[in-house]
Amino acid sequence: MRSRLVATLLVALGPFVIAACGDDTTTLRVMAASSLSGAFADMETAFERENPNVDVVVITASSSTLAGQIVDGADVDVFASADDTQFARAADAVNFDPPRVLASNSLVIIVPRGNPRMVEGLDDLARDDVLVATATDDVPIRKYTDRLLEAVGVTANFVTFEANVSGIVTKVSTGSADAGIVYASDLIGAEVDAITIPADDNLTVTYPIAANADSSRADLARRWVEFTSSEEGLAILGARGFAAP
């Protein structure tokens, strides 16, 4: 009888116990643009080594998705966005510190390995036989892509609007699409070939980052922001294909 009672209690309370586990460390919630996922994962490891009682949770998605979540009240300690517009949108809802520039990035054309459609430059993206992948209107990479293409007067043959940059990379790396425009940093680890965009046509993308001043963990959040621009942080960003701010 007693063991039945214990079993019933276990079943009834189990989910709550499991959900509440591991609360003895401080959790720092860092939201970052998808393109930063590799760099921030490396930084998480390094930061947690130096701060053993801190559990850094890095949440990556397109900057527009994250800004939307912040506006909707998501718990956030640090936000690193791939464009100023989405940062400003989030900063309207949450009292962030004045942002600093985390890193800069440029754009590059990616093609499947071996470049089957022989794409050589931005002009080729208008060809009928070149299927071009990009992202939906709100994702920063799309805005930069449109700005870049407009400046050179190219109407690209878009066939899909992905939810984020990794969607573009997947469509190109699997050979479904023939080309796409992504950040230079996305090349690290991607199974694609790159076609450089001449510096005169290219854009410099800067990433604003800031700590949430109203968070109960604001001090820790500021330490993370400082860490990203420390020597170690910059080395990680460099290794992940970003340029210094």
Contacts with another protein, residue ranges (CB under 8 A): 64-65, 68, 112, 131, 133, 136-138, 158-163, 167, 170-171, 174-177
Q: Are 108 and 194 in contact (CB under 8 A)?
A: yes
Question: What are the residues whose beta carbons fall under 8 Å from the beta carbon of 38, sequence distance 6 or more?
Answer: 185, 188, 189, 240
Residue number with CB closer to another protein (11 or 199): 11
Instruction: Quote the least distance from Cβ 136 to another protein, whole Å.
Output: 5
Residue number with CB closer to another protein (158 or 227): 158
The single residue listed with the structure tokens 């701060």 is: 51
Instruction: Quote the least distance from Cβ 186 to another protein, whole Å.
Output: 17
The single residue listed with the structure tokens 């994962």 is: 41
Instruction: Quote the least distance from Cβ 116 to another protein, whole Å.
Output: 9
Residue number with CB closer to another protein (138 or 232): 138
Instruction: Quote the least distance from Cβ 215 to another protein, whole Å.
Output: 24
Distance CA 173, CA 182 (A): 12
Residue number with CB closer to another protein (95 or 174): 174
Instruction: Quote the least distance from Cβ 173 to another protein, whole Å.
Output: 9
Instruction: Quote the least distance from Cβ 50 to another protein, whole Å.
Output: 34
Residue number with CB closer to another protein (64 or 212): 64
Give phi and psi for 10, each to the nearest 5. -60, -45
Instruction: Quote the least distance from Cβ 208 to another protein, whole Å.
Output: 19
Residue number with CB closer to another protein (8 or 216): 8
Residue number with CB closer to another protein (39 or 172): 172
Q: Are 148 and 161 in contact (CB under 8 A)?
A: no
